[in-house]
Amino acid sequence: MTLDSRRTEGVHPDHPDLDRLEVSELVRVLAGDQAGALRAVGAAVPALARAVEAALPRLTQGGRLVYVGAGTSGRLGVLDATELTPTFSWPRERAVPLIAGGARAIREAVEGAEDDHALGGRDVQAIGICDTDVLIAIAASGTTPYVLGAVEEGRRARALTVGLANNADTPLLRAVDCPVLLDTGEEVISGSTRLKAGTAQKIALNTFSSAVMVRLGKVYGNLMVDVRTSNAKLEGRAVRLVRHATGAGEAEAQRALADAAGNVKVAIVTLLLGIPATEAITRLAAHGGHARAALEAE
């Protein structure tokens, strides 16, 4: 008998003796079930594309990506927000993660925080949410009060609201401008949405934010040209990216990067057009930071 209509809370019908399996079979079952996450995200591609298209005009105007969630969903939001800066040089202040219970909840459960509808609204209000922002609300259940309170406040401020949930026809998906259903169904370990529900959320967040960054000019071809060179590994990566994009030798690429203060995109435009770094910077600025547009402009 199903006591909860949400599929993520249901009991998986295929593995009633999970605790009796040999280790190799147990691992095979757990790993194999993750394929459901890929199928769920694949079905959500049209919804994710609509969310990206809706987000771009706001972000072009200087808006922020605001992530809201509780528990596993909140931690995945924190992760996606955090990785945008080193990967795409996205300004840290324009990727704002909010998790029920605050920073302490990243490492431990904060009892009752996810059930506090008013707290979600207050947390969003405290960051000064506005109509150029994009609020990404994440909740496997689709019913988390903290997340619903945050969405309510985001909509009041006319921010764009995107919702990721793993159950259909839930309050979260009904409340947002851009609903994204990740229908992963029952978990192998019943109710443990850190499994394939969480995996689907991670893939969907990666897909959404990466697509946004590509369209905002953070990528040239399929090269990560806005990477921030903050350590030796990334400095080596920057040299390889410049060489791949331009055909330059290592010494030439290093010189161009030095002239560009480590900016891969500037170094590429400098080398491909044979212009000084200062002119490459001006040219990129005139084309919204898009390397291809800067290179192809008359």
For 58, 65, 93, 175, 181, the CA distances from 161, given in Å and listed in that order, are 11, 10, 19, 8, 14
Give the N- to C-terminal CA distance of the chain in Å, as an integer: 68
Nearest to 7 by CA among 204, 206, 200: 200
CB 172 within 8 A of CB 140: no
- Which residue(s) pair with 187 in the sheet? 11
Return d(Cα 223, Cα 214) in angstroms, integer: 10
DSSP symbols for 120-172: HHHHHHHTT--TT-EEEEEESSS--HHHHHHHHHHHHTT-EEEEEESSSS-HH
Q: Catalytic: which of 9, 83, 152, 235?
A: 83
Question: Among this protein's residues, is 296 annotated catalytic?
Answer: no
What are the structure tokens assigned to 251, written together?
């010494």
Question: Among this protein's residues, is 152 annotated catalytic?
Answer: no
Q: Catalytic: which of 114, 153, 186, 187?
A: 114
What are the structure tokens assigned to 278, written together?
């200062």
Q: What amino acid is encoded at 122 in this protein?
A: R
Residues annotated as part of the active site: 83, 114
